[in-house]
Amino acid sequence: MSVVLGGFFWFLAVVAVAAGIAVFRVDSMARATYALALSFVSVGVMLLLFNLEYIGVITILMMVMEMAIMAVFMIMFMGMNPALMPMSMVHSKRSSMILAGGGFVVLAGGALLVPWPARRGGPAADLTQSLGEAIMGSKMLVMLTVSPVLFATLVAALVLASPRGRYDRFGDDLRISPPRGPEQKDGRS
Amino acid sequence: MTLDAVLVASAALFCVGLYGALSQQVVVMVMMGLELMLNGVILAVAGLWWFLAPAPDGQVLLLVVIAAMTVEMAMGFAVATLLHRSRESDMTDTATDLSG
């Protein structure tokens, strides 16, 4: 059984990493979105292998929805179906590749060389229930901190993304337009 | 399935995301790189939790990472929308006002 699980884990790991590489190799943003969703689904299934049913399922659901939203934003920004637009827009490709490769060597080397301690304790019989009890008990402060952060993010994102409205006028007679931001290099303001 | 294997897989995911975050020019693609990095972090935390100390604390940490991912996504899209609105562009190279 463990051999089958191990083989399935490696299959998922290869799919997750290959899909991650495909995100930056495919020639359209739409395909990149699908590849990223596949990578997240693979990791979500890996979480299910660790008996993390709740977190695995919310990872899969959240990321699939997130990728759908991402596709909508791409179409919105580019004004066309991104699947029809081949592209390669990168900078510092060589140095990025060297940094990423070096980072992998360091991280993987650390993972293989560190003498990891033995497992302490065992998982609870019902992991979802134990998580709920932790959130509502000893770890409530964590959730109390995350909640206002999420609310502040909502407000900040709305403020940033909203266009300036009719109340956003300046001057004594409210006839002065709002500032348009720093001047561009090509002369546009 | 061992802790070493999980951590090597998560390191690979993290570094693929790092490459994307550093090399891509489109803001949305940079966000995809950051998401992949957090994907690797989620896998590493789950592996460490399962193989070292399967107490509820690790699951709470996973929830925090997922919340961080949500915040990153929301703020990234907001900044991308602002950039597109003010500069008519979604490229990082057009937002270098603060570079030295």
Q: Give the count of beta carbons closer than 10 Å to the beta carbon of residue B74.
A: 18
Calculate how close chain B gets to A170, using CA atoms only, in Å: 19
Task: With respect to residue A171, please indicate whether it lies within any of the assigned structural domains.
Answer: no
If one counts the domains in chain A, the total is 2
**pLDDT top residue among A139 and A73:** A139
Of A74, A108, A124, the CB nearest to B28: A74
Task: With respect to residue A5, please indicate whether it lies within any of the assigned structural domains.
Answer: yes
Same domain, yes or no: A79 and A3: yes
**pLDDT top residue among B26 and A56:** A56
Q: Are A150 and B70 in contact (CB under 8 A)?
A: yes
Verify whether the Cβ–Cβ distance B93 to A91 is below 8 Å: yes
Find the mean pLDDT for residues A66-70. Answer: 84
User: B9 lies in which domain range?
Assistant: 3-90
Question: In chain A, what residues touch B34 (CB-CB under 8 Å)?
Answer: none
Find the mean pLDDT for residues B67-90. Answer: 85
Please give the structure tokens belonging to residue A30.
Answer: 């739409």
In this structure, what CATH number is given to the domain that contains residue B65?
Answer: 1.10.287.3510
Task: With respect to residue A179, please indicate whether it lies within any of the assigned structural domains.
Answer: no
Q: Is B89 on the interface with A (CB under 8 A)?
A: no
Task: With respect to residue A107, please indicate whether it lies within any of the assigned structural domains.
Answer: no
Verify whether the Cβ–Cβ distance B64 to A146 is below 8 Å: yes
Same domain, yes or no: A72 and A137: no
Q: Is B91 helix (H, G, I), strand (E, B) or coil?
A: strand
Res. A142: pLDDT tops 80:
yes
Q: Which residues pair with A170 in a beta bridge?
A: A176
- Over residues B4-56, the pLDDT tens digits come to 999 999 999 999 999 999 998 888 888 889 999 999 999 999 999 999 888 88
Same domain, yes or no: A8 and A73: yes
If one counts the domains in chain B, the total is 1
User: Residue A78, CB half-sphere, CA atoms under 13 Å: how many?
Assistant: 21
Mean pLDDT value across chain A? 83
Residue A86 dihedral angles phi and psi, to the nearest 5°: -60, 145
What's the complex ipTM?
0.90
Among B34, B60, B85, pick the best mutation site for testing chain A contact (most A Cβ within 10 A): B60
Task: With respect to residue B100, please indicate whether it lies within any of the assigned structural domains.
Answer: no
User: A6 lies in which domain range?
Assistant: 1-85
Question: In chain B, what residues touch A66 (CB-CB under 8 Å)?
Answer: 35, 73
Q: A28-67 burial, b if ≥16 CB within 10 A, otherwise e?
A: bbbebbbbbbbbbbbbbbbbebbebebbbebbbebbeebb
By mean pLDDT, which of A8-22, A136-150, A165-179 is the weakest?
Answer: A165-179
Find the mean pLDDT for residues A72-97. Answer: 70
Q: Give the model's pLDDT for residue B93.
A: 78
